[in-house]
């Protein structure tokens, strides 16, 4: 999701059922030293429910009445840097999230994200969470992956809750800079985290409101039915979706199914909706590169479908390859307008 959680995309997911959205991950030192980056982030948070200027509450806005909490995702390993960055955006944000789940190589090299999950780093991690929780008036949340061994994941979640994390999102896969989504996520570990918090009196859920910390499950979601199944099997308070939402921003709309059994609506409709929101809110930064990435994800990904017909699948691959070349040829905003006129006037 790095660089792809732009305002237009977040607005699109809110319009289609998302109840909270996260910004892309910001490195605390960079946010503290780059004023342009900071102001761009602050401006994007105008769509949040906590922002002093809130376009969601503007009756002239196409999104009037749609709640859109915006959670700012920070990363780092220095409590002073994180606190400074959090304070700069807390007035505009609905919550501050400490990323403890990034598996990419730069996170490994910089010793942040999922590479703070080893037990030797737990004192540092709890210091980071505690420092943030004490520094800002909005909730502090965390996202984690599995520890090594995985049986320690629930123990870490308890420490995070005790340090002040009001929500723990669990992506139950191990951190790896390559093939990081290989295999199914181990949703049993989400259950283990939930039960560990419950046993400590820390869990907040539908039947236990007095706890301080809710659990969100992340992983194994390709369609709406997976959301329902995930919630039923884990008992989590919510489900976070990342990569699959890039391919299908309407994933949280259970009624938008194709008659042929496909579990996502027409790609061209979703692409037009994204571009419409991007055009309507041009005062928010949305680089052409990011728009192209969204078009690639929406128009060229292979949909999760009940069809096993090899001819249909082969045809979809050919169409996706052709569309990829058209998207690559977009070099200017004028090219993007022409692309829309040529390729998005009818169903892809």
pLDDT averaged over every residue in the chain: 89
* Token representation of residue 141: 């949340």
Tell whether 53 and 107 lie within a shared domain: yes
Q: End of a domain among 247, 277, 299?
A: 247
18-27, 82-91, 137-146, 175-184: least confidently modelled range = 175-184
Tell whether 235 and 288 lie within a shared domain: no
pLDDT band at 43 (very low <50, low <70, confident <90, very high): confident
For the segment 245-267, what is each residue's pLDDT rounded down to a tens digit?
999 999 998 765 544 445 456 89
Is residue 207 reached through a cis peptide bond, with omega within 30 degrees of 0 on the bond before it? no
Tell whether 191 and 329 lie within a shared domain: no
Tell whether 296 and 160 lie within a shared domain: no
Q: Are 152 and 125 in contact (CB under 8 A)?
A: no
Mean pLDDT value of segment 209-235: 92
**Cα 273 to Cα 340: distance, rounded to the nearest angstrom:** 11
- What proportion of the chain, given as a percentage, has pLDDT over 90? 70
Tell whether 64 and 120 lie within a shared domain: yes
Tell whether 164 and 127 lie within a shared domain: yes
Tell whether 99 and 243 lie within a shared domain: yes
Please check whether residue 149 lies inside any domain of the structure: yes
For the segment 150-198, what is each residue's pLDDT rounded down to a tens digit?
999 999 999 999 999 999 999 999 998 565 556 799 999 999 999 999 9
Tell whether 217 and 93 lie within a shared domain: yes
Whole-model pTM: value is 0.90
Assess whether pLDDT exceeds 50 at residue 348. Answer: no
Please check whether residue 259 lies inside any domain of the structure: no
Tell whether 289 and 219 lie within a shared domain: no
With a CB cutoff of 8 Å and minimum separation 6, the contacts of 316 are: 302, 303
Please check whether residue 255 lies inside any domain of the structure: no
**Cα 288 to Cα 55: distance, rounded to the nearest angstrom:** 23
For the segment 280-322, what is each residue's pLDDT rounded down to a tens digit?
887 777 899 999 999 999 999 876 655 677 887 788 888 899 9
Please check whether residue 261 lies inside any domain of the structure: no
Please check whether residue 56 lies inside any domain of the structure: yes
With a CB cutoff of 8 Å and minimum separation 6, the contacts of 120 are: none
- Give the count of beta carbons closer than 10 Å to the beta carbon of residue 18: 21
**Cα 98 to Cα 107: distance, rounded to the nearest angstrom:** 13
Mean pLDDT value of segment 79-101: 97
The parent domain of residue 43 ranges over: 7-247
Please check whether residue 194 lies inside any domain of the structure: yes
Assess whether pLDDT exceeds 60 at residue 241. Answer: yes
In the prediction, which pLDDT does 289 show? 95
Torsion of Cα atoms, 185 then 188 then 189 then 191, to 10°: 130
Mean pLDDT value of segment 131-152: 98
Tell whether 184 and 323 lie within a shared domain: no
Please check whether residue 258 lies inside any domain of the structure: no
Assess whether pLDDT exceeds 90 at residue 210. Answer: no
**Cα 148 to Cα 300: distance, rounded to the nearest angstrom:** 36
Q: Quote the number of domains for the chain.
A: 2
């Amino acid at each position: 999701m790095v660089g792809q959680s732009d305002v237009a995309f977040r607005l699109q997911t809110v319009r289609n059922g998302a109840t909270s959205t996260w910004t892309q991950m910001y490195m605390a030192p960079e946010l503290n030293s780059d004023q342009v980056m900071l102001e761009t982030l602050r401006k994007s948070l105008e769509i949040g429910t906590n922002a002093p200027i809130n376009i969601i509450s503007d009756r002239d806005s196409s999104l009037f009445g749609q709640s859109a909490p915006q959670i700012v995702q920070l990363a780092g390993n220095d409590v002073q840097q994180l606190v400074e960055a959090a304070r700069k955006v807390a007035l505009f944000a609905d919550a501050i999230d400490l990323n403890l789940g990034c598996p990419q190589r730069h996170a490994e090299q910089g010793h942040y994200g999922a590479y703070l999950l080893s037990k030797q780093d737990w004192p540092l991690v709890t210091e980071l969470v505690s420092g943030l929780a004490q520094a800002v008036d909005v909730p502090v949340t965390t996202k984690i992956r599995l520890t090594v061994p995985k049986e320690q994941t629930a123990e870490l979640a308890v420490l995070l809750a005790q340090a002040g994390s009001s929500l723990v999102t669990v992506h139950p896969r191990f951190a790896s800079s390559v093939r990081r989504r290989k295999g199914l996520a181990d949703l049993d570990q989400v259950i283990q985290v939930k039960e560990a918090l419950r046993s400590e009196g820390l869990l907040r859920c539908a039947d236990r409101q007095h706890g301080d910390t809710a659990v969100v499950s992340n992983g194994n979601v390709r369609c709406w039915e997976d959301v329902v199944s995930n919630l039923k099997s884990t008992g989590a308070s919510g489900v976070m979706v990342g990569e699959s939402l890039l391919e299908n921003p309407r994933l949280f709309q259970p009624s938008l199914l194709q008659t042929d059994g496909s579990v996502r609506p027409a790609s061209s409709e979703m692409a037009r909706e994204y571009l419409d929101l991007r055009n309507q809110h041009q005062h928010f930064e949305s680089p052409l590169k990011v728009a192209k990435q969204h078009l690639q994800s929406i128009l060229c990904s292979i949909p999760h479908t009940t069809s096993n017909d090899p001819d249909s699948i082969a045809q979809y691959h050919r169409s996706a390859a052709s569309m990829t070349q058209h998207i690559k040829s977009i070099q200017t905003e004028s090219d993007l307008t022409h692309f829309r006129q040529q390729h998005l006037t009818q169903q892809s």
